[in-house]
Amino acid sequence: MTDRFDPFIKQCLGAEYMEVPFEDLTISTATIDVRAHIDTGLNYEQLYYSLPVIPKKVYESISNYHWPEATVYAAKFENLIRGAPPNEETKAFKNSTMIWMWLKEKPVNIKVSSNNFHITGCKKLEHAAEAVRLLQGHIQLLSPPSGGNKVDDDGNGDDDSNSAVTSSVALYKNFPHALRFDVCMINYNFKLGVALDLPKFDIFTYKNFPKLVYSPYDQNINKTSMPMKCPVLSITYTINDNGQVSMCTAEADIEKSYDNVCKGYEVFYVMVNAFRDDINGK
């Protein structure tokens, strides 16, 4: 009887494993932190009330529609909800406002705190910069002039600047509110195209690449996937027995993060090639 984990041959397909150039892969998802200037003073609560949010009935009445960039279709603050969030049960983070906004290509989620933008759902690193650019456009429309000028929103002669979204904007290149872009997580998914014998692959990498990777394989009760870490590159792999692989890094620096996943992809196939040769007796 043929082993279901016949390392490089799927029983029904007899397929060779696939290796595509890293440049041809696309980011599955990325989460980016954008640090704001300490003197920006973002009032995330007022931002929740002030943003132009598409009404829920309007947004849900038009399905499969690609909304114009900068369209805000949902916002959450504490237990309050505006618009049509993807999951109304999702609780807003403390000390922040959650915003769902369309970019040119896709929607993203932005968690806005007093000095931070936490952006999830990016498919490109450029999406984080685009999200900040569009959101700052909203913020500037809702804010007084730079320098904290007196704001009289209610016409009673008092300074109401505390109710503004921000009372000061320190210019920083093309992103007045942005100080630094940091990676929280970048994830790539790819597939070998064949089944993989995880127990044998685990033993092989333990014996042949002990200084490069390690796997707490016994943590997986069902033995259908294997976590593997490459500490030197800050890479975590999740390898499934059907040949699906997820590769993730949490290196903060964007350029180093991209370099790490590129090298991590190469490292993975060095191990896979060596395993194949070992199975074939080469």
Write the pLDDT tens digit of every residue in 119-163. 999 998 889 888 988 888 887 776 554 444 333 333 444 443 334
- Is residue 207 scored above 90 in pLDDT? yes
Nearest-5° angle of CA 147, CA 151, CA 156?
155
Query: Could you give the CA distance from residue 134 to residue 117 in angstroms, rounded to a whole number?
Result: 12
Q: pLDDT averaged over the chain? A: 79
Query: Could you give the CA distance from residue 99 to residue 134 in angstroms, rounded to a whole number?
Result: 12
Name which residue leads in pLDDT, 98 or 276. 98
Write the pLDDT tens digit of every residue in 223-234. 688 889 999 999
Q: In this structure, which amino acid lies at residue 186?
A: I
Question: Which domains are delineated in the chain?
Answer: 31-146+164-183 (no CATH), 192-279 (3.30.310)
pLDDT band at 265 (very low <50, low <70, confident <90, very high): very high
Query: Could you give the CA distance from residue 81 to residue 83 in angstroms, rounded to a whole number?
Result: 7
Q: What percent of the chain has pLDDT over 70?
A: 75
Strand ranges inside 158-200, DSSP E:
178-191
Mean pLDDT along residues 244-251: 93
Q: In DSSP terms, which residues pair with 97 in a beta bridge? A: 77, 112
Residue bearing tokens 């394989």 = 217
Q: How buried is 148 (Cβ within 10 angstroms: 0-12 exposed, 13-18 middle, 19+ buried)? A: middle
- In this structure, the strands spanning 178-191 and 225-230 are unpaired
Q: What is the dihedral of CA 10, 15, 16, 21, to 10 degrees?
A: -110
Q: What is the DSSP letter of 119?
A: E
pTM reported for the whole predicted model? 0.76
Query: Could you give the CA distance from residue 196 to residue 210 in angstroms, rounded to a whole number?
Result: 20
What's the full length of the chain, in residues? 282
pLDDT band at 170 (very low <50, low <70, confident <90, very high): very low
Query: Could you give the CA distance from residue 278 to residue 271 in angstroms, rounded to a whole number?
Result: 10
- pLDDT for the residue 187: 95
- pLDDT for the residue 234: 93
- In this structure, the strands spanning 116-122 and 29-36 are antiparallel
Q: What percent of the chain has pLDDT over 90?
A: 37
- Is residue 262 scored above 90 in pLDDT? yes
Mean pLDDT along residues 73-97: 87
Residues 6 or more apart from 229 whose CB is under 8 A from it?
213, 214, 215, 235, 236, 237
Query: Could you give the CA distance from residue 56 to residue 74 in angstroms, rounded to a whole number?
Result: 8
Name which residue leads in pLDDT, 273 or 41. 273
As a whole number of angstroms, the longest Cα–Cα distance in the chain is 87
The Cα-based distances of 267 to 23, 57, 145, 163, 192 in angstroms read 15, 50, 52, 53, 14
